[in-house]
Amino acid sequence: MHTLVTGGAGFIGSNVVRLLLERGHSVTVFDNLSSGYESNVSEQDVRLVRGDVRDYAALAEAARGAEAVFHLAASVGNKRSIDDPFGDTQTNALGTLHVLEAARHAGVRKVVYSSSAGIFGELKTLPIAEDHPIDPITPYGVSKLAGEKHCLAYARLYDLEAVCLRYFNVYGVHQRYDAYGNVIPIFATLMLRGEPITVFGDGEQTRDFINVRDVASANVLAAESVGVNGAFNLGSATAISINDLVRLLGRAVGTPARLAHGAPRPGDVRDSLADISAIRTALGFAPAVEIEPGLGEYIVWLREELSGQ
């Protein structure tokens, strides 16, 4: 099938692109390259369209002929959204509406939307199932929830299927340092440079880290499924403390971290753990990459990436 991947030159998007090509699908990548890298897809057989999801006309042109759309383009992160709530909402909420309208008019069969566990806000129960109360506490959580609701409404209104994947903490190859981003690339980059890292809070807070190869697999399973609509948690179903993560990263890097502690950050939850039974049942998804070998693979890639800078 022909596919369109918004944000396809980014961290997760480029991994989705790779898997799509491996499975014999054709791919158009739509990316403004604000956080993506052309080098992530330049060696792959894709059509790259440089554009922004806030530009409906460009997006509608790129969607022509697509059977499935993977919508990964986003302004990502709680802190970024707090710093720039207008930009967050324009990209994530309005941008998603543009994607859905472009998909509808192009006759797309399936939209796979990258959502976030940030829609849940402060957690009441663990593990987190899809019916956990939804109460986002940052503009990012609100905008990703708005995108979800638009997708599911379009699936009810039009001849268009939609699957929303609520990502927990994704890590892996092609994830570069970003002060707004995931803790793993921040810590790993600083540790490889021999610089100190800061753990916010006591470090006993827990996260559900899922490797990007598993995320790509879930995206492709969602697109290839027929008759499946809805929102699904996407995590590893395994929790690890930040302190244990630091120890595993030190083992992968070969040097223990130089560690400092800072005050807890606004918008951060204490604990996180996904219940993935719904996506197992609906799509047959099961995570395949465990955290320690996944971190080892990532450090090998990142070390090479940093050596070329």
25-51 tens-digit pLDDT:
999 999 999 999 999 998 889 999 999
CA 197 → CA 115, 131, 211, 227, distances in Å? 28, 36, 22, 46
pLDDT tens digit string along 272-301? Answer: 999 999 999 999 999 999 999 999 999 999
Catalytic residue among 37, 56, 140, 171: 140
pLDDT-derived band at 243 (thresholds 50, 70, 90) equals very high
- The bridge status of strand 197-200 relative to strand 169-171 is unpaired
**Domain boundaries along the sequence of the chain:** 2-171+209-235+275-288
- pTM of the predicted protein model: 0.95
2-171+209-235+275-288 classified as CATH 3.40.50.720: yes
Tokens of 92: 């994530």
| pLDDT above 90 as % of the chain | 87
| Residue 309 pLDDT | 65
Could you read off the pLDDT of 192-215 as tens digits, one per residue? 999 999 999 999 999 999 999 999
Please tell me the distance from the alpha carbon of residue 208 to that of residue 118, in angstroms, as a whole number.
Answer: 13
Smallest CA-to-CA distance from 144 within 72, 216, 201 is with: 72
Helix (H, G, I), strand (E, B) or coil at 169: strand
Q: Which residues pair with 135 in a beta bridge?
A: 121
Q: Is 298 a catalytic residue?
A: no
State residue 251's pLDDT score.
97
